[in-house]
Amino acid sequence: MKITRIFAHRVELPLREGNYKWSGGKSVTVFDSTIVGVETDTGVVGYGEVCPLGPFYLPAYAEGVRAGLRELGPHLLGFDPRELAKLNHRMDAALKGHPYVKSGIDIACWDILGQATGLPVCVLMGGRFGEQVRLYRAISQESPEAMAKKVAGYRAEGYTRFQLKVGGDPDTDIERIHAVRAMLLPGDRLVADANTGWTQHEAMRVVRAVRNVDVYIEQPCLTYEECLAVRRHTDHPFVLDENVDGLDMLLRAKADLAMDVVNLKISKLGGLTKIKQARDLCVSMGIAMTLEDSWGGDITTAAIAHLAHSTPEEFRFTSTDFNSYVTVSTAEGAPQRHNGFMRASDSSGLGIKPKMDVLGKPVVVVA
Ligand code: MG
């Protein structure tokens, strides 16, 4: 089997809530997503998706995905998409860095491997653990009262895991954490995710002020060293995210006892092959994970479902269903949330079929 054509569609994904706000006044109203197709000489076509959280979150941006595909694509024509380690080796040799550019191609090749073998991606990634995957809801940054109201609403829809977007004014963030925790019941989990937004002294004030609140603290500061300093001064369960972009940082953070949970995102690591390596290492090291991506629609949500479902349940902290945050559906067969859970498809590959009328004409074609 050989890759004969790589193409990409640009899709706008407006947010159901109108916008999404997080640390430092960052905000998005319409996500710019790239759906990547990999076509083979057998007629099998696989799909992946890459959707950065704007250009100001991780070192990734939507137009960069498309530019990167034009650069990298010609190096992959003629390669067997089922040979995923070899394909990733080729991608890393042809283009240094830019993991998010490679992510969509890698996901599409897992979809092809699944279709070619008749197996769901979660089975190929290690097996299906449990019946379903528990979801969290990210709560956009608003006033403490508005965020508490949102949490109550999403709780009524079945979610029991909530990730509050903090990382703003520390005094307001302290109120946000108290107001939301007051809405929750025993068994619910609350994460205060500052997305690098606090300076070290601000983070120290916040963790002190919420000392008696049952809350996880996620990526309080910009640098790893600042996060480590905060971590060493609090007994809240601690999550690292933005700083952990590969195995080097994962091993360093484990050695420093710098986290209790790590947030792994598919495009931050560079695709399902690379995140599987990190995921399996975390399982071996006993570290629980939030398994997700930066953002996306139906295809990203399908990829997250297969990744999470193939992870032992005790190491799955949370995942999320991005396709329920946006108003546009780009594929049939994507996981749908039921009472705060989703499950990976039983069909072969990712189990999705893109809606070509929604995708329109490709904006990148490499053949
Ligand atoms: Mg995070």
- CATH number for the domain harbouring residue 70: 3.30.390.10
Look at residue 342 in the predicted model and tell me its pLDDT. Answer: 98
Record the tokens describing residue 194, joined without a space. 């500052």
299 and 168, same structural domain?
Answer: yes
Would you place residue 282 in the very low, low, confident or very high pLDDT band (cuts 50, 70, 90)? very high
- Ligand 1: centre distance to CA 343 (Å): 22
User: Domain tally for the chain?
Assistant: 2
- CATH number for the domain harbouring residue 312: 3.20.20.120
158 and 81, same structural domain?
Answer: no
135 and 24, same structural domain?
Answer: no
- Ligand 1: centre distance to CA 191 (Å): 9
- Ligand 1: centre distance to CA 82 (Å): 32
Q: Which residues are catalytic?
A: 165, 265
The model's pLDDT over 293-336, given as tens digits with 9 standing for 90+, comes to 999 999 999 999 999 999 999 999 999 999 999 999 999 999 99
Look at residue 328 in the predicted model and tell me its pLDDT. Answer: 98
Average confidence (pLDDT) over 155-181: 97
Look at residue 137 in the predicted model and tell me its pLDDT. Answer: 98
113 and 237, same structural domain?
Answer: no
98 and 157, same structural domain?
Answer: no
Average confidence (pLDDT) over 94-103: 98
HSE of 48 in the Cβ direction (CA atoms, 13 Å)? 33
Contact (Cβ atoms closer than 8 angstroms) between residue 121 and residue 350: yes
108 and 90, same structural domain?
Answer: yes
Residue 18: give the domain boundaries: 3-118+354-366
- Ligand 1: centre distance to CA 125 (Å): 24
302 and 178, same structural domain?
Answer: yes
- Ligand 1: centre distance to CA 165 (Å): 9
DSSP-assigned beta bridge partners for residue 239: 218, 261
Q: What is the Cα–Cα distance from 20 to 84, expressed in whole angstroms?
A: 35
Q: Between helices 170-181 and 200-209, what is the axis angle to 10°?
A: 30
Q: How many of the other CB atoms lie within 10 Å of CB of 247?
A: 13
Q: How many of the other CB atoms lie within 10 Å of CB of 356?
A: 11
Q: What is the Cα–Cα distance from 297 to 317, expressed in whole angstroms?
A: 21
Average confidence (pLDDT) over 4-16: 98
- Ligand 1: centre distance to CA 54 (Å): 14
183 and 110, same structural domain?
Answer: no
Look at residue 117 in the predicted model and tell me its pLDDT. Answer: 98
Give the mean pLDDT of the chain.
97
Would you place residue 362 in the very low, low, confident or very high pLDDT band (cuts 50, 70, 90)? very high
151 and 77, same structural domain?
Answer: no
Q: What is the Cα–Cα distance from 338 to 135, expressed in whole angstroms?
A: 10
- Ligand 1: centre distance to CA 193 (Å): 6
Look at residue 256 in the predicted model and tell me its pLDDT. Answer: 98
Place of tokens 């975390």: 282
The model's pLDDT over 172-224, given as tens digits with 9 standing for 90+, comes to 999 999 999 999 999 999 999 999 999 999 999 999 999 999 999 999 999 99
Look at residue 312 in the predicted model and tell me its pLDDT. Answer: 98
263 and 218, same structural domain?
Answer: yes
228 and 84, same structural domain?
Answer: no
68 and 163, same structural domain?
Answer: no
